[in-house]
Amino acid sequence: MHTSFFRAAGSCRRILGLGCGLLFAGASLADNGAADYRHHTMEAIGGHMEAIVDILKQKVPHQAHMGLHADAIAEMAAIADTLFPAGSEGGDALPAIWEQPEEFAKRLQAFKEAAAGFRQTVSEGGEVGAAVQNLGGACKGCHDDFVDGH
Ligand code: HEC
């Protein structure tokens, strides 16, 4: 039920954008608050990342927004370790997160460092391309082993 909800909401989002996600929001409320919150926070991180890529690809002339997105990801990376309390298993989070806590903690730490590094590079006007690749590597470094369907 839970999985099919995310699948339905996922394809829905692709077709209709946010409005459809809101339509589904009620259905997930009673389920597992911590897992929902984690998923929503991760989606927010994903949104900032996609916006960064849009800017880098010069789809929009919003270089001035880069710092905002970098700050947001760094702030969320800093609280990412609070998103996985015991009992919050579910969503796209694989059981390995709770079965291999030390390995998972390493991925969280790598994410925190990459996000802080990206924020610093942006604020110093440095080479953003390399820093964003490093950040993307930290996302992938966790998703490959700890997120369903990756
Ligand atoms: C330490 C592990 C970890 C890192 C690092 C991480 N994520 Fe995630 N991410 C997860 C987990 C676990 C989920 C599944 C959450 C759920 O459904 O409960 C997830 C879910 C997502 C989702 C929702 C879609 C899906 O597959 O469930 C997006 C989008 C996302 N992450 C983007 C990112 C981006 C972009 C980064 C890097 C800037 C990132 N994540 C870094 C663990 C991580």
Query: What's the pLDDT tens digit per position in 74-131?
Result: 999 999 999 999 999 999 999 999 999 999 999 999 999 999 999 999 999 999 999 9
CATH code (residue 113):
1.20.120.10
Q: What is the largest CA-CA distance in the chain?
A: 47
**Partners of 90 in beta bridges:** 93
**How far apart are the C-alpha atoms of 108 and 96, rounded to whole Å?**
14
Greater confidence, 16 or 134?
134
> What is residue 34's predicted lDDT score, i.e. its pLDDT?
96
- Nearest ligand 1 atom, CA 50: 35
Same domain, 86 and 124: yes
Same domain, 9 and 39: no
Q: What is the pTM of this model?
A: 0.84
Q: Residue 50: which pLDDT band, with cuts at 50, 70 and 90?
A: very high
Which residues form the domain of 55? 33-146
Tell me, in angstroms, the distance from the centre of ligand 1 to residue 140's CA. 9
Same domain, 6 and 64: no
Same domain, 96 and 110: yes
Same domain, 37 and 67: yes
> What is residue 150's predicted lDDT score, i.e. its pLDDT?
76
Q: How many domains does one find in the chain? A: 2
